Copies of this chain bind each other. A is one copy, B any other.
Amino acid sequence: MSCVEAEKAEAGVFERIFYPRRIAVVGVSPNGMGFGSGMLAALRAIGFEGTIYAVNPRGGEFFGMKLYKSIGEIPTPIDFAVIAVRAAIVPEMLEACREKGAAGAEILSSGFSETGTAEGIALEREIRECAQRGMRIIGPNCFGIYCPGSGLTLLPGPELSRTSGPVGFLSQSGGMSIDFAHLGKWMGVKFSKVISFGNGADLREAELLRYMGDDAETDVITMYVEGVEDGEEFFDTLRDVTAEKPVIVYKGGLSDAGNRAVLSHTASMGGSARIWKSVLTQCNAVQVHDLNEMAQASLAFSCLPGKVYRGISVAGGGGALGVSACDSAEQFGFELPPLEKGISDRIMEILPKPGSSAGNPIDVANPMVPPEVLKQTLLYAAEDSRVDIQILVQLLYHYKSVALGLGVESVKDVTPYGALADAVHDVVTTTGKPVILVLPNNKRDRESLDIEDMMREARDIFLEKGIPVFDDLTDALRAVSHVSNYYETKQRRQQGI
């Protein structure tokens, strides 16, 4: 086989893994307990596009589906298998799947090298040997693959979104993969593929990163790494991939105790915080420090034009908001240039008085300023050439007081989030400068569930128009700074500086 042919064959293997037409779920207990039954139920609930064969040595039925007594009994070849049997018989099941033509398999079972026992380590070696005979393995000790396009899902992921998007996620941790997939659903982060690879007996960080780098469906790569198998290979790959696409890396286990936890979690060796930081910086990878920061950065990379952002305008009701915006902005290396006098004067003409100011930050005086006034304010502020991106902070929960005052039952009926989304969308289209919405909710008591409901609807409406929404101003600024820093370094390197 030529090199090109080998690449094509490999691409074909991955295509069969992420978009399988026929899969086997091995280890489905008829009583509905266990990972196998959970995964089968999840695949049916999310609407997996292909055919599913369920396997249990005792046969029988599960929710009206025939349970095959063995993999060999399945009437057709398969593309992919989900393995959820006890560790000791995993190698045997894998081999049977391979013989049934499977291009790959994910092993949800744990009890391998992460236990630190000789038996677990030996079993994991057997898995690797099976892979070497010609099948790609995800896991063991993982939650599998989530691919919104095909309907493959994680454990326990019956309700994940079926809408694909630009973000790929590689995770050594199963919990992190399901948590990120859930977070993404409401935050507006849409995934191409999420791969929880656990102990990574066969496929792991470097090769999967290379795959995502080449994958046309993935524009933003995110990773949760506990430890890498081959540092040199990983960092070489990382450097290559970041030259094309942003790679956001969350390295877990940078402390002593964290390192210990990593060992019992995915059998990986960690590494010092200093070394990781330095190497990630050299590779122009985006380093984040927790799941929320990773999700926020993914949202910013997904929604914002890829460029350097320096000057920011911040508008919102309430002077302390502006003060806090400035403090945070400086911390992340942004400038809040005082707006040109002419612009500032025009803004002051339209804002309520007293209580407003338009230096930058722009204090619009109160949280109930109408969308058309906010729109004009943003249009004016964008005229300042030093403003690259605008942030609008809206405390929508204050409309609850308006609803109470007017005797209106639903806070949705008095909060102009629809009009605000249209207004902001117009501003972005007209000015060509992105606007970020920050929608904090400080009223989260049990009587205010209607505010939460309204704000979730508002978030979705903004996201549908491509406008990123954050709960918190500092989070938003940090996310934008990741985008800006990545593109600054990338440009610098392309120019050979």
Give the interface of A toward B (CB within 8 A): 32, 38, 41, 45, 87, 110-111, 115, 156, 158-159, 172-176, 179, 182-183, 185-186, 224, 226, 252-262, 264-266, 289-292, 317-331, 335-336, 338, 354-355, 357, 359-361, 363, 395, 397-398, 400-401, 404-405, 442-449, 452-453, 456-457, 460, 472, 474
Contacts and interface: CB of A to CB of B under 8 A. Distances in A.
A316 to B, nearest CB: 9
A266 to B, nearest CB: 7
A404 B400 CA distance: 32
B264 A359 contact: yes
A354 B255 contact: no
B472 A446 contact: no
A408 to B, nearest CB: 14
Given A158-B404, A255-B330, A261 B456 contact: no
Contacts of A449: 449, 452-453, 456
Contact of A320 (B175, B355, B357, B404): B175
Contact of A260 (B176, B185, B338): B338
B456 A329 contact: no
Contact of A262 (B111, B292, B323, B448): B323
Contact of A186 (B255, B355, B357, B445): B445
A159 B185 CA distance: 32
A36 to B, nearest CB: 14
14 contacts: A175-B317, A179-B442, A182-B397, A182-B442, A224-B320, A226-B320, A255-B327, A257-B326, A258-B323, A258-B327, A260-B359, A290-B474, A292-B472, A446-B457
Contacts of A111: 354
A420 B148 CA distance: 35
A255 B320 contact: no
A460 B404 CA distance: 24
Contacts of A327: 252-255, 258, 289
Contacts of A456: 444-446, 449
Contacts of A357: 261, 264-265
Nearest to A87: B354
A395 B255 CA distance: 23
A265 B186 contact: no
A253 B405 contact: no
Contacts of A174: 318
A398 B41 CA distance: 15
A360 B257 contact: yes
A303 B322 CA distance: 31
A175 B264 contact: no
A337 to B, nearest CB: 8
Given A175-B319, A253-B327, A255-B330, A183 B442 contact: yes
A35 to B, nearest CB: 10
B323 A226 contact: yes
Nearest to A110: B354
Nearest to A273: B327
A235 to B, nearest CB: 21
A261 B322 contact: yes
A319 B173 contact: yes
A45 B403 CA distance: 14
Contacts of A460: 446
Given A175-B320, A449-B452, A186 B261 contact: no
